[in-house]
Amino acid sequence: MKKMENKIAIVTGAAMGNGKGIAEVLAKHGATTILLDVSKQVHDTAKELTERGFETMALEVDVTNNEDVKAGIDKVIEKYERIDALINNAGVVRLANFEDMDDETRDFHFNININGVWNVTKATLPHMKKAKQGRIVNLSSVTGTMVADPGETAYATTKAAILGFTKSLAREVAPDNITVNAILPGYVLTPMAEQMAKETNPDNPQEVIDGIASGVPLGRLGKIEEVGELAAFLASDESSYITGTQIVIDGGSTLPETVSVGS
């Protein structure tokens, strides 16, 4: 039996990047996968999976819009009657030095990366509590929790907040047999990483990507499927005794004790 067989799983930010990878891997492991995203592209991503024979549903929803989130979750319950796993993946980053960052950019991060996770979790949790089981997996990052580069104050703040949220919620919902864990990726090759590379060096973003890869002990950026496999583990029964914790998936990028890591 596949590890996500008969499971109903929601992935936010599933149109592209890590969310798409997570949705694909969950589907491959047997889950009925609900892809939720603000982008219309979510329909194409869901169609790709349906064409490969997987049971999916696409929800075009902005995680910051509480009413839309609630309506989306209601649709899932109407059709599938329960939610076994929620992967809170939707997130954004815009680089700007702290002194130059306007409040709008700060709130853009806080609204999507923190309030978005809050909203979808709030709408989903009652259904998990009713079923006396559930898995919540939150995408944090090594950024803000372990490391940081200039320009990331808003993003880093949100990713550290997600860890606090994970631990505190895990404590509250443990009696209901619901686990809450966080994934802390290093650099994963997604549209977000490509966009950060472009913001850092508009003339040669590839140089930025290559530079990042050279600083990773495993010598490359992560793949979305690798994040997907970790999410699938945490969303499955295999992780039944793991809660309130974080797992780093970074190719060893936070490991080096000295600056030179290439050899």
Ligand X SMILES: NC(=O)c1ccc[n+]([C@@H]2O[C@H](COP(=O)([O-])OP(=O)(O)OC[C@H]3O[C@@H](n4cnc5c(N)ncnc54)[C@H](O)[C@@H]3O)[C@@H](O)[C@H]2O)c1
Q: Which residues are catalytic?
A: 155
Contact pick of 13, 72, 134, 244 for ligand X (by CB under 6 A)? 13
Residue among 33, 89, 166, 181 that touches ligand X (CB under 6 A): 89
Binding mask 204-243 for ligand X (x = CB under 6 A): ----------------------------------------
Report H helices in 174-236.
191-200, 205-214, 224-235
Nearer residue to ligand X within complex by CB, 38 or 170: 38
Instruction: Report how far residue 12's alpha carbon sits from residue 119's, in angstroms, rounded to the nearest whole number.
Output: 11
Q: Which residues contact 107 (CB under 8 A, 6 or more apart)?
A: none
Pick the binder of ligand X from 112, 173, 182, 232 (CB under 6 A). 112
Residue 39 binds to ligand X (criterion: CB under 6 A): yes
Question: Beta-strand (E) ranges in 140-188?
Answer: 178-185
Does the footprint of ligand X cover residue 251 (CB under 6 A)? no
15 lies in the site for ligand X, by CB under 6 A:
yes
Whole-number Å distance between alpha carbons of 23 and 4: 11
Query: Which residue type occupies 245?
Result: T
Within residues 166-195, the interface with ligand X by CB under 6 A covers: 185, 187-188, 190-193
Q: To which residue do tokens 């109407």 refer?
A: 78
* 208: number of Cβ within 10 Å: 18
- Binding region for ligand X (CB under 6 A): 12-13, 15-19, 37-39, 62-64, 89-92, 112, 116, 139, 141, 185, 187-188, 190-193
